[in-house]
Amino acid sequence: MTSALIAEGLSKRYGRRFALKECTLDIPSGHVVGLVGPNGAGKSTLLQLACGLLRPTSGRIEVLGTRPVSGSARVGFVAQDTPVYANLSVADHLRMGAHLNPSWDAGLAGRRIAQIGLDPAQKAGKLSGGQRAQLALTIAAAKRPRLLLLDEPVAALDPLARRTFLQGLMELAADEDMSIVMSSHLVADLERVCDHLIVLVASRVQVAGDVDDLLATHHRLVGQRRATTDLGAGHALIEQSHTEVQSTLVVRSTAPIVDPSWQVDRLDLEDIVLAYLSGATGSRPDRVLEGQR
């Protein structure tokens, strides 16, 4: 499998503070990839390094087999605040996109603007948050990039605007030949659109894999309290909690769970993400990540 992005020992430092430190990961191409982690994990810094807006302090990063270059037609980027120019109309944005990008697909841009109901004469400053996000996504997609990077694109949107944005993203993924990496705190949204997941905590990858595989191999075990030093071959302990009489474990299993004393439950994607966040930080985070920014 080819890689959309490879990072090895990647670091970005501002003075004494590391925004990203010794990050190593391999993001496969041809997928819609969810990148999730707590504040300070380095998600935004990683995406800005990947599109050439930042230069690394140390380490190596390759995007589509080459060093990132700002303005590359092969990479589209939508920043967290979905930047658009308030005094320019929707049509002005499309004309500017066509002027700046040799690979610009005017047909794709026009279809998306019509589909989402934007008035080409409307000034961007008068658009709603969801409409601005859709305009930014349209501009990034109409470049016809091979890799589309989205940094918390729906964090500030209401539920209806989020659903509309994500529906448009799924249509792009189905119709266009591009890899997509989207960072988000909204795990339910990632589960809706992503087929590959990366959990990043303090610049370190806690887990990475296809969503179907992660859902199939992670389980919650509930049973009488016991030591967890040896769960047997093929079972990795991710998170544990205990009462005086009961143990509750989250495990990743590559072998069948045959001990009949365990009650075995399947997990959803949010359960899996929270288990890895808890295991990495040593404390159970809040059930809902949506309020984090």
- Closest listed residue to residue 198, CA positions, set 55, 42, 52, 79: 42
CA distance 140 to 156: 19
| pLDDT, position 279 | 72
- With beta carbons less than 8 A apart as the criterion, state whether 54 and 70 touch: no
Which residues is 266 bridged to in the sheet? Answer: 219
Query: What does the domain layout of the chain look like in residue ranges?
Result: 3-210, 212-281
CA distance 147 to 290: 26
pLDDT digit string, tens, across residues 126-151: 999 889 989 999 999 999 999 999 99
DSSP E strand stretches across the chain: 3-14, 17-28, 32-36, 58-63, 75-78, 147-151, 179-183, 196-201, 204-210, 218-224, 235-242, 246-253, 263-266
| pLDDT, position 282 | 52
CA distance 76 to 98: 14
What DSSP assignment string belongs to 231-292? --TTEEEEEEEE-SSEEEEEEEESS----TTSEEEE--HHHHHHHHHHHHHSSPPPS--TT-
pLDDT digit string, tens, across residues 192-235: 899 999 999 988 899 999 999 999 999 999 999 988 877 778 89
CA distance 224 to 226: 6
8-state DSSP, 125: G
Domain 3-210 architecture? 3-Layer(aba) Sandwich (3.40)
CA distance 39 to 203: 11
Q: Rg for the chain (alpha carbons), in Å?
A: 21
The larger pLDDT score, comparing residue 116 to residue 286, is at 116
Does the pTM surpass 0.85? The reply is yes
* Residues in contact with 253: Cβ distance below 8 Å, sequence separation at least 6, in sequence order: 217, 218, 219, 234, 235, 236
Average pLDDT of the segment spanning 75-82:
86
Two structure tokens written together for 208: 């990475």
Strands 196-201 and 179-183: unpaired
* Residues in contact with 135: Cβ distance below 8 Å, sequence separation at least 6, in sequence order: 82, 84, 90, 93, 113, 118, 124, 127
**Residue 286 pLDDT > 70, yes or no?**
no
Mean pLDDT (the chain, rounded): 89
Task: Please give the share of the chain, as a percent, with pLDDT higher than 90.
Answer: 65
Average pLDDT of the segment spanning 54-76:
93
